[in-house]
A and B are shown apart, each in its own frame.
Chain A
Amino acid sequence: DTAVSQTPKYLVTQMGNDKSIKCEQNLGHDTMYWYKQDSKKFLKIMFSYNNKELIINETVPNRFSPKSPDKAHLNLHINSLELGDSAVYFCASSFGKGANTDTQYFGPGTRLTVL
């Protein structure tokens, strides 16, 4: 009965490859997010989708492309992977758009290592 799940948990790949990370939530939430946590443990928003529509798109390289086939899924595809993409990527979801009483629920993270 996992609330927010991500696959894979670990991903090791070569520079230049294309990879995808999948996220699913079974909480019935309308909004999903992707965060990146770098080596210094700083957690930063990348994207947010509400009902399958992009509502936040922070300054990330266009090699990163989120895709939301339905409101329970938000996948992250990364093209031409670079060393600097190595990080832990967290998916999260919330009922609304993140306002006053809106708690975000996080997945376990995907540790991406680019060699």
Chain B
Amino acid sequence: KQEVTQIPAALSVPEGENLVLNCSFTDSAIYNLQWFRQDPGKGLTSLLLIQSSQREQTSGRLNASLDKSSGRSTLYIAASQPGDSATYLCAVPAYSGAGSYQLTFGKGTKLSVIP
């Protein structure tokens, strides 16, 4: 059974710092890995999806890397801003039969960027 772990659970940084969020998964036979952002009282927003054949994906100040063999992914945020404050979750799909997949989520890293 796939398990997804995110460390640290919470992170506080001053504005402008570069930072790295970590995600690890126990079953390396994944199809892709997604990073989501969750703002308080709101739903999840997909940030990046890395396919299993890729090693990294970039979107603006965000860069996500994937190392399947070691079961790890990192989300790098450059020049952090107060608006980046949110909870970041990673998720991997697992096959659940009948051609369908379900996402297994980590518990998230709560990021606070201090102005």
Q: Hey, which bits of chain A sit against chain B, CB under 8 A?
A: 4, 31, 33, 40-45, 48, 50, 55-56, 58, 90, 92, 97-109
Contacts and interface: CB of A to CB of B under 8 A. Distances in A.
Interface string B84-111: 0001010001001111111111011000
A56 B96 contact: yes
Given A40-B107, A100-B32, A100-B51, A48 B44 contact: no
B99 A97 contact: yes
Interface of B: 31-32, 34, 36, 41-46, 49, 51-52, 87, 89, 93, 96-105, 107-108
A41 B10 CA distance: 12
Contacts of B102: 33, 45, 48, 56, 58, 98
Nearest to A100: B31
10 contacts: A31-B100, A43-B105, A45-B103, A55-B98, A97-B99, A98-B102, A99-B93, A101-B51, A104-B34, A105-B46
Q: Give the interface SS of chain B, mostly helix, strand, loop or mixed.
A: strand
A50 B43 contact: no
Contact of A90 (B44, B49, B108): B44
B32 A43 contact: no
A90 B44 CA distance: 9
A43 B43 contact: no
Contact of B32 (A45, A48, A50, A101): A101
B42 A109 contact: yes
Closest 7 CB pairs of A and B: A98-B101, A106-B43, A97-B100, A106-B44, A43-B105, A55-B100, A45-B102
B101 A97 contact: yes
A103 B93 contact: no
Contacts of B52: 100
Given A106-B43, A109-B42, A101 B49 contact: yes
A44 B105 contact: yes
B42 to A, nearest CB: 5
B46 A98 contact: no
